[in-house]
Amino acid sequence: MRIRRNVGPLDRALRFGLGVVFIYLGFYDASLIRDPLSGALLGAMGVMLVFIAIIAWCPFYHLIGFNSLSERT
């Protein structure tokens, strides 16, 4: 089974940038988020966003049938 990419370049860049910020805030900077569970969840969400940006496939987009990647004809 082959996974078809469904995340475009702008979407990938935004996910990657936001994911890095979430990882930093969740795992490294405890000044804004004092609750360890909230920090861990935010960091995990960041890891997920970076992973989706790297593989260019979003399971939620797949479920709803959305594709932000422009198909060249």
What is the pTM (predicted TM-score) of this model?
0.87
Per residue in 1-37, pLDDT (tens digit) is 688 899 999 999 999 999 999 999 999 987 888 899 9
Instruction: With respect to residue 3, please indicate whether it lies within any of the assigned structural domains.
Output: no
Task: Assess whether pLDDT exceeds 50 at residue 73.
Answer: no
> What pLDDT is stored for residue 63 in this prediction?
93
In the chain the first and final C-alpha atoms are separated, in Å, by 23
Instruction: With respect to residue 37, please indicate whether it lies within any of the assigned structural domains.
Output: yes
Per residue in 28-45, pLDDT (tens digit) is 987 888 899 999 999 999
Per residue in 44-56, pLDDT (tens digit) is 999 999 999 999 9
Which residues form the domain of 44?
Answer: 9-64
Instruction: With respect to residue 73, please indicate whether it lies within any of the assigned structural domains.
Output: no
Instruction: With respect to residue 69, please indicate whether it lies within any of the assigned structural domains.
Output: no
Instruction: With respect to residue 4, please indicate whether it lies within any of the assigned structural domains.
Output: no
Instruction: With respect to residue 70, please indicate whether it lies within any of the assigned structural domains.
Output: no
Please tell me the total count of domains within the chain. Answer: 1
